[in-house]
Structure 1
Amino acid sequence: MNTYLKDKVRWVNNKVISGEQLFFFAFTISLIASFVVNTTFMIYLRINQVNWFNYFALFLLVIKIYIFDSFNWKEYIAITITLALAFFSWKNTQINTVMIMFGFILGAKNINFNKIVRHYFNVNFVLLLLIILYSLLGIIRNLAFFRGDVFRYSLGIDYSTDLSAYVFYLCLAYCYLNYRSLNWKKFIGILIIDTIMYLITNTRVDTFLILLIVPVIVLATSSVKTKMKKFIVSSFWYLNIILPYTFVLLTYYFTFGNPIMVKLNRILSGRLTYGEEGFEKYGVTLFGQKIAEHGWGGAKGLTMMKNNPFGYFYIDSSFIRLLIINGTLLGVITLFIIAFISIRETIHHDYLLPSILFLVVLSSMIDQHLLEITYDPFLLSFLSIVPFNLNGGSQNDKIK
């Protein structure tokens, strides 16, 4: 019977569908469903209905992991425990994004990472253009938020900072795929996009991070490296560990009695305050917990901003959310994945991915998108096949 099942799986793999095709089918479904959840289309849709598409995608990934992929028994145990932790986190928090992301991280084994990023870029680029068009045509709402007397438009996305985050991650994906041809013309193009996004969304963090993308990637991929350049690019791997830890400490020990912390909190739009409040009110759990958050996103959030602005409470930082909402165990696993990818690539003197993750970590200290598949495809490099971007090798050619 065991031999028969193996032969059957082999026949399915060779004749009907491959593990790669199954992965990209699931990836497409989840990218579309997760994107729609973050738009004003949700005024007309029920979240549970859309989430069923994500659950179906996760089901396909489980099939790929346990039938199409090949792991040893220790790896299968580790995978099963991780998926179980993600499942319990979903049940405890009623937030499915982390569970979906871990499904894709573990399901990306033997998939070329360049193909993953290219697929992510193509799908999300089209979706973003369509949603902006729909909002400008009045098919869906273009929510207008405000900071002081400055209006911040979201162009069909739930919130203006989410729109700028989509642009940030798309710019990251574009530069990752085209790092060899980055030049001053493309830098000016990205600068123009960045300026337009700032005028529309008035988002400071993503505006600054988009400006950093080209110089950081050019520095990381330059063939000519001085001692200073080598020191900087070799520092990305441990900065990707130290920065989240430092931000957690700053948040946990935040006090209005420290003028430096107060100024930093003001720069970060009060994120240290809300994070510290989260630690104080809810504490840290192993498996996650459901907490009451009231953010500005969506039509309901806009109504609250206008009528009850003091009711706002939302934990933005991905790393603080992991500890307070999703659970410490998943937080440790996430940090391990980031560290593993960064160290693995640095050992091979390939600094492209560590530099990308450095920018992702900077963003994730402020925003909540680290473990959302609709934004961040870069953690999928954990088990996928990462081409030798800087040091040659048979996989160095651009994926067609």
Structure 2
Amino acid sequence: MNRSIVSKYLYIFSFVLVIFVDFLSRTMFVEGFSILKNVSKILVISACIMLLVKLLIDKHSKIELYTILILIPILSVIIFMTKTYYTLLPIFLLVISVRNINLEKILRIWLFEIIILMLFVSVSYYMDIIGETTRVFGREGDKIRYGLGYGYSSFSANYFFHFTLFYSFIRREKIKVLEIIALFITNYYLYIKTDTKSAFACSVLLLFLVSIIKYLKLSKQSNFLNKYTMLCGFIISLGTLFLYRFGTEVGELLNTLVTGRLRLADKAWDEFGITIFGQKILWVTENQWMSEIEYDYVDSSFLNILFNYGIILILLIIVGYYLLGKKKLSNNVFYTLMIVILGIHCIYDPQLLEISHNPSILFLGYLITGSDIIYNLKR
């Protein structure tokens, strides 16, 4: 077996392990089987070792090598400051190790793994192997938001929204009416069970636009949206926060519309502030019974990354997606659709930097390698 094949298998095995661990951490399995937390750490360490081996056996251009050597100390400081050794480190290694990897295949592996894991959790939940989360709660009257085997009620809907997003990106104009209907029905079922409005709204918008693109045979991408969607999302997130901080009526209205997210971001701004290389933040993700401790979490991907990981990382991500918008991989309308829907969702939802939700973060590796392999997506 030659070096190139070994390199590809190391990447695929590492990717599958990282996705598995990240997904598992958001299910009730980790609460029902405490040993899984230690097993997950071992799996992440194994994945990181394999990726380091891949980096060592790959042949790199001088520019690529210099870029990696510049990024390593910067991101090492961010990882150290935020203590995200088991979450951010494997993502960083996956991004810089993307040489000779066809991300079309990686996306297909991601789709297959996510749907298998979701089915596994669903079967386990309905067979009472794992229970309902204690974080089940209602809003808008007596409507209950079920966890369906996940740690929070929104997780299942958000996973399937991202599955819908990248499935349509891979299938493109070849997607069939029955596939669109099946995706809609599943998203609607999860919305009924979990009342996760943002994921359902983005899914409906996505499937509607996919249908329009398919049947009008649109093919022209938007270079502006390809380059500036993430920047616009960041500006909107920060701008609406300032509207709320300055006590404007518009800010108060927006805070109500996004179910208090701006108030929590405002609280985080005062409590944590903004740093260059990030900081360790212990988010409070549920109200504590009989305690003064209250829910304290920033849902906006852009603001969450800004508070938690600092100015450097959010700038790297925004600039990275801008540069991706200038590469060949973005030269199709389905990339434009994917990046716009993803950007809209990330304004008030936190999945941008979560690898088991958003595998497109790996596209940033092409900026290091200078590759454009994903452009070979079959039309």
Q: What is the TM-score with the length of structure 1 in the denominator?
A: 0.84
Match of 2:169 among 162, 168, 176: 176
Partner of 1:374 in structure 2?
356
Amino acid of the residue matched to residue 24 of structure 1?
I
Instruction: Decide which moves more: 132-141 or 213-222.
Output: 213-222
Partner of 2:254 in structure 1?
264
1:337 & 1:313 partners in 2: Cα distance? 29
2:216 & 2:326 partners in 1: Cα distance? 20
Partner of 1:51 in structure 2?
41
- Please state if 1:333 is matched with 2:316: yes
- Please state if 1:145 is matched with 2:145: no
Does the aligned pair in 1 maintain the 2:48–2:93 contact within 8 Å? yes
Partner of 1:103 in structure 2?
93
Does the aligned pair in 2 maintain the 1:93–1:326 contact within 8 Å? yes
Match of 1:161 among 154, 157, 166: 154
Q: Secondary structure at the match of 2:149?
A: coil
Partner of 1:8 in structure 2?
none
2:216 & 2:196 partners in 1: Cα distance? 34
- Please state if 1:22 is matched with 2:5: no
Q: Counterparts in 2 of 1:281-320, with a 5 A limit? A: 281-296=271-286, 304=288, 307=290, 311-320=294-303
2:360 & 2:243 partners in 1: Cα distance? 30
**Offset at residue 352 of structure 1 (A):** 2.1
Does the aligned pair in 2 maintain the 1:233–1:355 contact within 8 Å? no
Match of 2:340 among 344, 355, 358: 358
2:230 & 2:208 partners in 1: Cα distance? 18
**Offset at residue 234 of structure 1 (A):** 4.9
Amino acid of the residue matched to residue 268 of structure 1?
V
Partner of 2:225 in structure 1?
235
Does the aligned pair in 2 maintain the 1:31–1:373 contact within 8 Å? yes
Amino acid of the residue matched to residue 356 of structure 1?
M
- Alignment deviations for residues 329-371 of structure 1 (CA, whole Å, 9 cap, x no partner): 111111122112223248x732322321221111222121111
Match of 2:27 among 39, 46, 50: 39
Partner of 1:5 in structure 2?
none
Q: Secondary structure at the match of 2:130?
A: coil
Change in Cα spacing, 1:289 to 1:387, as seen in structure 2 (3 Å) is closer
1:240 & 1:352 partners in 2: Cα distance? 16
Q: CA RMSD in A?
A: 2.5
Does the aligned pair in 2 maintain the 1:274–1:314 contact within 8 Å? yes
Change in Cα spacing, 1:231 to 1:379, as seen in structure 2 (3 Å) is closer
2:25 & 2:253 partners in 1: Cα distance? 34
**Offset at residue 386 of structure 1 (A):** 3.6
Change in Cα spacing, 1:230 to 1:178, as seen in structure 2 (3 Å) is closer
1:362 & 1:190 partners in 2: Cα distance? 19
Amino acid of the residue matched to residue 30 of structure 1?
V
**Offset at residue 310 of structure 1 (A):** 6.3
Does the aligned pair in 1 maintain the 2:275–2:311 contact within 8 Å? yes
Does the aligned pair in 2 maintain the 1:221–1:352 contact within 8 Å? no
Q: Secondary structure at the match of 1:291?
A: coil
Amino acid of the residue matched to residue 86 of structure 1?
L
Does the aligned pair in 2 maintain the 1:29–1:53 contact within 8 Å? yes
**Offset at residue 51 of structure 1 (A):** 2.4
Partner of 2:3 in structure 1?
13
Change in Cα spacing, 1:273 to 1:373, as seen in structure 2 (3 Å) is same
Q: Secondary structure at the match of 2:144?
A: strand
- Please state if 1:276 is matched with 2:259: no
Partner of 1:76 in structure 2?
65
Q: Secondary structure at the match of 2:325?
A: helix
Instruction: Decide which moves more: 183-192 or 107-116.
Output: 183-192
Partner of 2:57 in structure 1?
67
1:344 & 1:83 partners in 2: Cα distance? 24
1:173 & 1:307 partners in 2: Cα distance? 42
Identical positions, percent: 22
Change in Cα spacing, 1:310 to 1:77, as seen in structure 2 (3 Å) is same
**Offset at residue 146 of structure 1 (A):** 2.3
**Offset at residue 22 of structure 1 (A):** 0.9
- Structure 1, unaligned runs of 5 or more: 1-10, 389-394
Match of 2:189 among 183, 196, 200: 196
Does the aligned pair in 2 maintain the 1:134–1:140 contact within 8 Å? yes
Change in Cα spacing, 1:196 to 1:64, as seen in structure 2 (3 Å) is same
Instruction: Decide which moves more: 246-255 or 107-116.
Output: 246-255
Amino acid of the residue matched to residue 268 of structure 2?
G
Amino acid of the residue matched to residue 12 of structure 2?
F
Q: Secondary structure at the match of 2:327?
A: helix
**Offset at residue 242 of structure 1 (A):** 1.5
Amino acid of the residue matched to residue 26 of structure 2?
N
Change in Cα spacing, 1:124 to 1:231, as seen in structure 2 (3 Å) is closer
Count of matched residue positions in the alignment of Structure 1 and Structure 2: 368
Partner of 1:391 in structure 2?
none
- Structure 2, unaligned runs of 5 or more: none
